[in-house]
Chain A
Amino acid sequence: MDMTDIARWQFAITTVYHFLFVPITIGLSAIVAGYETAWLRTGHERWLRLTKFFGKLFLINFAIGVVTGIVQEFQFGMNWSDYSRFVGDIFGAPLAVEGLLAFFLESTFLGLWIFGWDRLPPKLHAACIWLVHIGTVFSAYFILAANSWMQHPVGYEYNPDTGRAEMHDFAAVLFNKVQLVTFPHVVLSAYMTGAAFVTGIAFWHLRKAKEPGDVELYQRAVRTGAAILLVAGLGVAISGDAQGKVMTDVQPMKMAAAEGLYDTESSADFSLLTIGSLDGSQEKFSIKVPGLLSFLATGHTDGTVQGINQLRDEYRQKYGQDPGEKYYSPGDYTPVIPVTYWTFRIMIGLGLLGAAIAGWVLFATRRGRIPQSRLLYWGALALPFLPLFANSFGWLFTELGRQPWAVFGLMTTAQASSPGVSAGQALTSLIVLTLLYGVLAVVEVRLMVTYIRRGADPVEPPSSDEPGVDKPLAFAY
């Protein structure tokens, strides 16, 4: 492995890992904020118990999301210095704005929320967690704008004197058409993830709960979670469909690679699964939905979808010999087809399965019913993992499907890494971070399980800070 391979592994490992915690943070902050608001509106204790229970789980998750985010901010410069030099004029701006607008907001108001139960008036306290949520959404917007620029560079000009891409239209970068479909897709899938987390955990408790108060509390949590999951899931499907059309327009190779469509076709089929040769170029068995790929790509079942072979010829003419060739099979300008083929399907499959289970949960818990189905029980327990891993596969598809490019049409991944960093240095970094992340995963999961098992403790409503009374802190580390 050379330095670029190692840097790619590190980027993949640290980013996929980081993005296990991010969607839960985005989704769960909104749900916890919703529960606290419900408590303020109704004054009913169960909403406060849910706020505190899922608030604890949220914080365990948030902490690891924050610290693994620091690596993201640093590794562009550490492992991808030529990329940073080439795109810094454009890519740096959303990152800096993300820090200023989002990171300060999240971290400051989360501190206020954690420690402020007895220090702030209840409405202001609830406003703090809403501000945390708004911070997470801002953060998503700016980092996705940066990523969308890599998929579809806009608002820039290449300057041959400085040898870099230079921004001339920040609005074009912020409102890139890829961004406008990616942002809703990612944020709604984060709501799915947070909601699946809530639904699965609450369902498990619902089956064990004996006290009538507990039963009702978990029932509410199950139903709010499943409802959010279902609605967000619908939004994810719609935005994902819109994304497919935009992708066909700006990155047709990625769409062809998603199906493994080698030759341009009208009325192209979408295969649910295929057994073929290892490089995906020969098919042995396949289940197909007629015209579906054309519909996903163009909106018409008889639309024309360009094939890999034709696109490869086109790219060769346009960009010349592929400088990043050695990383990719089976040839020039082509991502690894089995990877794009399967990640695309697994993403969709896990997302659909999650939404379907949520629908079943909603139906089975209607009018106070407590479902006894064993299948549903296991389905609900699996639920938190379905959108979670769908996110991972979605990102693997998006990023690997862009290869060999780091910035589509402008810079290949092979050109992007740090020339001054040796393979040994990069490998040390990869090993250190991977081991550390592995240990932290064990610590985090065990802590999370402990707190999930405890369930929603009974709570006392927070008392405000009376002057002259020297009480213990409402919360302390």
Chain B
Amino acid sequence: MELTTVWFSLIAVLWIGYFCLEGFDFGVGMLLPVLAKDDTERRVLINTVGPVWDGNEVWVLVAGGATFAAFPEWYATLFSGFYFPLLLILVALIVRGLAFEYRAKRDDAIWRRNWDWALVVGSFVPAVLWGVAFANILRGVPIDSNLEYTGGFFNLLNPYALLGGVTTLLLFLTHGAMFIALKTDGRIRHAAAQLAVRVGAGAAVAAVAFLGWTQLETGTVASGLAFALAAVALLAGLYAATRGREGWAFVGTFVAIALGVAGLFLGLFPDVMPTSLAGGASLTTSNASATHYTLTIMTVVAVTFTPVVLAYQAWTYWVFHKRIATHHIPAQTPVASGT
């Protein structure tokens, strides 16, 4: 396999990791006002992802860094082209990250309510905009022969891309609800499981429409297969949720997101950013890539260290595998007893 293909695959893996992991973080954040009735319940929800959200978010930073290193032209065109969506995502990720750390630092209802909103909006905005961004990449955007994006902001808000945004939004909501059902106990656990099935039905409809549309426009046999299996995994997950099998239900949405994203990348290959302009130039794995030397170095580093990272991240999930219920939340403000 060519190194450019290896790196296209690795970047796909990084995005899959990001959406499968931070997907449920986003879901948990958005479900805060829906599933929690009081402050203790809100804290139960937040603490299901408390120890892991930051590690999950690093996946997108590494995806960005890897794109910069392996496909500099892709990084340059994408980031300068999708300017406002990325700015919005940046602002969202900033306020959301601080919300986790700062919310519990004052025992003050207004302070906490403000950070709750930061968490909800900070989760909602990227959950929608990543879908919009990926749909636009697949659909093709105006890129001229100098590899510059010429489309502006409103060009990105087309029906297909908006459907992509709705799909990621609903999928992450479902995924988050499945995660909450798996990680909590008591009233929230049951409320989350019920909600997961209801939102999941909507997510399934949106996903079938979006992935089907994608398959018609840019699909290959491989992407079609991935999309079909993603649909099966999602439906199996929803079925497991109705039967109270929370572990399998979460695996279902996890695999569905992984295969859905894999299918998008399979449909994209060998382009990385196709152009929609007649006289424009598409960015491909070959014309956007770094040199063979750089890709070789990067491959050695990635092959050596990725398994280590996966091992300690997996270990973290094992350390914090216990379910959390309202009686686990320390009564006093955490500053008095904990760190």
Contacts and interface: CB of A to CB of B under 8 A. Distances in A.
Interface of A: 52, 55-56, 59-60, 62-64, 66-71, 73-74, 76-79, 81-82, 84-85, 87-93, 95-101, 103-105, 107-117, 119-120, 164, 166-168, 170, 418-421, 425, 428-429, 432-433, 436, 440, 443, 447, 450-451, 454, 457, 460, 470-477
19 contacts: A70-B94, A77-B68, A77-B75, A77-B79, A85-B147, A87-B72, A88-B72, A92-B294, A103-B62, A104-B312, A108-B58, A110-B54, A111-B50, A111-B55, A116-B51, A432-B91, A447-B106, A472-B331, A476-B338
A429 B88 CA distance: 9
Interface residues of B, number: 81
A127 B99 CA distance: 27
Nearest to B89: A74
For the complex of A and B, 5 pairs with smallest distance between CB atoms: A88-B72, A77-B79, A475-B338, A92-B69, A63-B101
Most chain A beta carbons < 10 A, residue from B51, B71, B339: B339
A368 to B, nearest CB: 29
B80 interface: yes
Given A89-B294, A100-B309, A472-B328, A418 B101 contact: no
Nearest to B313: A108
Most chain B beta carbons < 10 A, residue from A92, A428, A436: A92
Contact of B65 (A62, A98, A470): A98
A120 to B, nearest CB: 7
A60 B69 CA distance: 32
Nearest to B325: A470
A66 B316 CA distance: 20
Contacts of B46: 477
B68 A477 contact: no
Contact of B62 (A76, A104, A472): A104
Contacts of A454: 335
Contacts of A114: 50-51, 338-339
Contacts of B57: 107
B199 interface: no
Interface stretch (B160-168, B246-254, B300-308): B300-308
Given A111-B54, A436-B91, A473-B330, A167 B61 contact: no
B327 A470 contact: yes
B100 A477 contact: yes
Q: Is the interface of A mostly helix, strand, loop or mixed?
A: helix
Contacts of A168: 293
B55 A77 contact: no
B244 interface: no
Interface in B15-52: 43, 46-47, 50-52
B329 A92 contact: no
B298 A96 contact: yes
Interface string B111-125: 000000000000000
A241 B290 CA distance: 37
Nearest to A82: B76
Contacts of A451: 105, 335
Contact of A74 (B86, B313, B335): B86
Interface in B60-107: 61-62, 64-73, 75-81, 83-84, 86-87, 90-91, 93-95, 97-98, 100-106
A242 to B, nearest CB: 28
A74 B91 contact: no
A450 B335 CA distance: 11
B336 interface: yes
A96 B320 CA distance: 28
A443 B102 contact: yes
B28 to A, nearest CB: 12
A98 B309 CA distance: 13
B76 A447 contact: no
B290 A96 contact: no
Contacts of B43: 476-477
Given A111-B52, A436-B94, A477-B46, A88 B80 contact: no
Nearest to A119: B319
B319 A450 contact: no
A205 B246 CA distance: 51
A449 B170 CA distance: 41
B210 interface: no
Given A70-B97, A88-B73, A475-B330, 11 more contacts: A55-B339, A77-B76, A88-B72, A100-B65, A108-B316, A112-B316, A117-B339, A420-B150, A473-B329, A476-B104, A477-B43
B86 A78 contact: yes
A474 B51 CA distance: 13
Contacts of B76: 77, 81-82, 84-85, 88, 418
A98 B69 CA distance: 11
B69 A73 contact: no
A60 B293 CA distance: 41
Given A97-B301, A112-B51, A429 B87 contact: yes
Contacts of B95: 436
B269 interface: no
Nearest to A108: B55
A168 B9 CA distance: 24
A92 B87 contact: no
B91 to A, nearest CB: 6
B68 A420 contact: no
Contact of B80 (A63, A421, A474): A421
Nearest to B114: A443
B69 A476 contact: no
Contact of B293 (A76, A99, A167, A472): A167
A431 to B, nearest CB: 11
B290 A88 contact: yes
A119 B298 CA distance: 36
Contacts of A420: 80-81, 148-150
B54 A66 contact: yes
Contacts of A433: 90-91
A463 to B, nearest CB: 11
B83 A78 contact: yes
A443 B106 CA distance: 11
Contacts of A117: 338-339
Contacts of A450: 105-106
Given A68-B94, A476-B104, A476-B329, A100 B301 contact: yes
